[in-house]
Structure 1
Amino acid sequence: MHEARAYVSAMKKNDKTSTAPRKQCGALPFRRDDSGRIEVLLVTSRETRRWVIPKGWPIRKLRPNETAAREAYEEAGLAGDVWSEPYGVFTYDKRLKSRSFVPCTVDVFLMRVDKEQKRWPERDERERRWFDAQTAAELVDEPELSDLIAALPERLDLSKAERPRKAAGGRR
């Protein structure tokens, strides 16, 4: 009986549809427009075409902020400086290819964008677009992410520093 419970427990740990949240790393790309207002770049998700931030599963041998930078490059063709500490966290339910859902917790890292590539790996699968922070906050479905985006202009103005504590830039 004990062996059967151990087997079931091991299977649950490997089951991607388990209710335990899975970790992801995301980038919140921003820049200032000509008038000094904060703009946020959003991308569309591949299947549902919702507006989201670039994010993905942790990548072995990369720090979380480096994973966020890699996702920003792959999903949106962005390069820039990525903060070393998370700006915040949000949760959502990720739809898997099996059509089941898995709860995810996303560590969000600020990314000051320096460059936008004309070609990038997922350019044929997603749309990317700059929005003022308020509009971007209204477009995303996740309330916690919306709050993070809406607070960004004030948080950056209060910090008086738009540079990462430790740069981990995306591809240039």
Structure 2
Amino acid sequence: MSDLVARTGRHQQRYEDGCRLIAGCIPFRYRTSDDNACKSEKTIEVLMINSQSGPGLLFPKGGWENDETVEEAALREALEEAGVRGELKDFLGYYYFRSKSLQDEFCPEGFCKAAMFPLLVTEELSSWPEQSTRERRWVTIPEAAEQRRHPWMEEALVEGFQKWHAA
């Protein structure tokens, strides 16, 4: 078993203008398919994880804490929740949402501001902190848009990730 441990508690959590600050990423890889003998094509796959509070898939994300940069927080969440390491790419943007499970004394309405990044996966661990409660699944972008739990995730995928990748 890995000696990696997921952080717990919210005493280090960052807030801004009534929002809990979240850091996350869209882990991705390139899969080469040889459909045609003359031409090989690269397909982008993104890694999603199951939600612990209902149906649908999620991108790894979580609280951005006082003792880390937003990039460090995004990398930590990818490791803790999905068991992957990689190279963060250009910042995609901020995505706003409301979460019933993230309501607390500092943010009673559960408003969240998520900083999202693409993460080119370079290592997929066989053991990670949340493996007992998280399943991970590689999916195509259309599958991710269809199976995502929250609408803002489709916006991050289409308006953020796909536009970044096409640039």
Same fold (TM over 0.5): yes
Stretches of structure 1 lacking an aligned partner (at least 5 in a row): 1-18, 159-172
Q: Given the two structures, how large is their TM-score scaled by the length of structure 2?
A: 0.74
Q: Is the 8 A contact 2:55 2:149 kept in 1?
A: no
Corresponding residue to 1:65 among 71, 74, 77: 71
Q: 2: CA distance between counterparts of 1:62 and 1:37?
A: 33
Does 1:157 pair with 2:166?
Answer: yes
Q: Residue 113 of structure 1: CA displacement?
A: 0.2
RMSD after superposition = 2.3
Question: How do 1:116-135 residues align onto structure 2 when only pairs under 5 Å count?
Answer: 116-135=124-143
Q: Residue 134 of structure 1: CA displacement?
A: 1.2
Does 1:106 pair with 2:114?
Answer: yes
Structure 1 45/101 Cα, relative in aligned 2: closer, same or farther at 3 Å? Answer: farther
Q: Is the 8 A contact 2:32 2:43 kept in 1?
A: yes
Q: Is the 8 A contact 1:134 1:150 kept in 2?
A: no
Q: Which amino acid aligns with 1:134?
A: P
Which is helix-richer, 1 or 2?
A: 1
Q: Residue 69 of structure 1: CA displacement?
A: 0.4
Q: Is the 8 A contact 2:102 2:110 kept in 1?
A: no
Name the larger-Rg structure. Answer: 1
Stretches of structure 2 lacking an aligned partner (at least 5 in a row): 1-16, 34-41
Which is strand-richer, 1 or 2?
A: 2
Instruction: State the secondary structure of the residue aligned to 2:99.
Output: strand
Q: Which amino acid aligns with 1:156?
A: H
Q: Residue 146 of structure 1: CA displacement?
A: 0.2
Q: Which amino acid aligns with 1:157?
A: A
Q: Residue 40 of structure 1: CA displacement?
A: 0.6
Q: Given the two structures, how large is their TM-score scaled by the length of structure 1?
A: 0.72
Question: How do 1:42-61 residues align onto structure 2 when only pairs under 5 Å count?
Answer: 42-61=48-67
Q: Which amino acid aligns with 1:93?
A: R
Q: Which amino acid aligns with 2:158?
A: A
Q: Residue 87 of structure 1: CA displacement?
A: 0.8
Q: Is the 8 A contact 1:25 1:64 kept in 2?
A: yes
Q: Residue 54 of structure 1: CA displacement?
A: 0.6
Aligned residues: 139
Corresponding residue to 1:78 among 75, 84, 97: 84
